[in-house]
């Protein structure tokens, strides 16, 4: 049965001639018919069912509208020479556990470093931070829905999709989308292929392959509009069908210059768990996030709690190993 996705205050531009059937400002989709009819069970990643106006975090009252002056996401804070903290200087000198490059947690295909953990606490999220969150959702949430056909594309694969000119190389590297219904893509505005961890802003693109529609959620106005539109067009080329691009102008907005990655992670989980996986076959589902307020600080703390819990479990497993080389490896979950 078709599904109704309410789209409010959305602006759209089409990269092809075909589009979902439209009645007023409502888009009818068919790509959720494979989902279970029962709501998702309660878990650390999937909280008990809440009203649609709430995200799975305790949200504060909506803040006053942000200042119209532009905000710029900065990945790193500028540092003057000689301003490096004493503990960091000592860590760099002796190569101890405080070294930014030192591995902190190995979680299946993602290796988090000390630098990644520092960024997660109060800075611009790294590629590894977002890749870990996607890996965690895939390992802890998606297995409960064996019929779900949803892919969480890693930041590195999204970057390849947008920067590699050879379409054959892209298709060889990306997953097979033949039987996939939806794809989540973290969008970054990095332009140089030679700069690691480049770019200044993250946003989220949700592609419905069966319906040929891509929804863009940007916490900084339209900062990544063109990047997301281009990614949607490339996805259309890969699946060989036109892709309609919808920029959701009512997406929750960040109030500082470093929370864009946290917004991507929290919106990704909410859209995955509360909108796609929890939908019933005859239910009307709105993909708009208008009116939502994201508690980015609470999101950072929850992600840190998850990582610390996994790290402790990895340390317990490592302590039970008889291998003399195991003690030199980071806590591992696989």
**Catalytic site residues?**
201, 218, 260
Q: How long a stretch of residues is the chain?
A: 334
Residue 92 φ/ψ, nearest 5 degrees: -65, -35
Query: 15, 38, 7: which is closest to 283 by C-alpha?
Result: 38
- Within 86-238, strands assigned E span 103-107, 110-113, 150-152, 182-188, 202-208, 213-217
Q: CA-CA distance, 175 to 153, in Å (whole number)?
A: 9
The pair of structure tokens assigned to 285 is 């589902």
Query: 180, 238, 185: which is closest to 210 by C-alpha?
Result: 180
Our CA angle for 122, 124, 125, nearest 5°, is 100
Task: Check: CB of residue 162 under 8 Å from CB of residue 132.
Answer: no
SS3 of 166-200? CHHHHHHHCCCCCCCCEEEEEEECCCCCCCCCCCC
Task: Check: CB of residue 213 under 8 Å from CB of residue 173.
Answer: no
- Compute the Cα dihedral for 4, 20, 264, 160 and give only its sign: positive
> Roughly how many angstroms between the first and final C-alpha of the chain, as a whole number?
38
Other Cβ atoms within 10 Å of 82 Cβ, number: 6
Q: CA-CA distance, 13 to 36, in Å (whole number)?
A: 32
């Amino acid at each position: 049965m078709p599904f109704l996705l309410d789209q409010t205050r959305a602006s759209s531009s089409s990269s092809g001639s075909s589009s979902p059937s439209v009645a007023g400002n409502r888009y009818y989709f068919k790509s959720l018919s494979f989902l279970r009819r029962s709501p998702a069970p309660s878990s650390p990643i999937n909280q008990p069912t809440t009203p649609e106006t709430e995200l799975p975090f305790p949200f504060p009252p909506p803040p006053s509208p942000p200042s119209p002056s532009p905000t710029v996401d900065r990945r790193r804070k500028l540092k003057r020479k000689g301003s490096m903290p004493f503990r960091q200087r000592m860590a760099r000198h002796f190569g101890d556990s405080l070294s930014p490059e030192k591995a902190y947690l190995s979680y299946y295909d993602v290796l988090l470093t000390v630098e990644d953990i520092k960024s997660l606490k109060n800075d611009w999220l790294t590629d590894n931070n977002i890749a870990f969150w996607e890996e965690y959702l895939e390992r802890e949430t998606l297995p409960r829905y064996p019929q779900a056909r949803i892919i969480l594309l890693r930041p590195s694969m999204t970057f390849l999709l947008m920067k590699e000119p050879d379409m054959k190389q892209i298709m060889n590297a990306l997953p097979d989308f033949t039987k996939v219904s939806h794809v989540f893509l973290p969008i970054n505005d990095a332009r140089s292929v030679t700069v690691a961890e480049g770019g200044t802003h993250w946003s989220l693109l949700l592609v419905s392959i069966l319906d040929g529609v891509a929804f863009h959620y940007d916490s900084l106005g339209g900062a990544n509009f063109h990047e997301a539109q281009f990614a949607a067009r490339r996805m259309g080329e890969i699946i060989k069908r036109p892709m309609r691009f919808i920029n959701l102008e009512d997406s929750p907005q960040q109030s500082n210059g470093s929370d864009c990655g946290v917004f991507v992670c929290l919106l990704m989980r909410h859209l995955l768990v509360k909108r796609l996986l929890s939908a019933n076959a005859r239910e009307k589902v709105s993909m708009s996030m208008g009116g939502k307020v994201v508690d980015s600080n609470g999101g950072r703390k929850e992600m840190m709690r998850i990582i610390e819990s996994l790290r402790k479990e990895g340390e317990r497993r490592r302590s039970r190993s008889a291998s003399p080389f195991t003690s030199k490896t980071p806590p591992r979950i696989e």
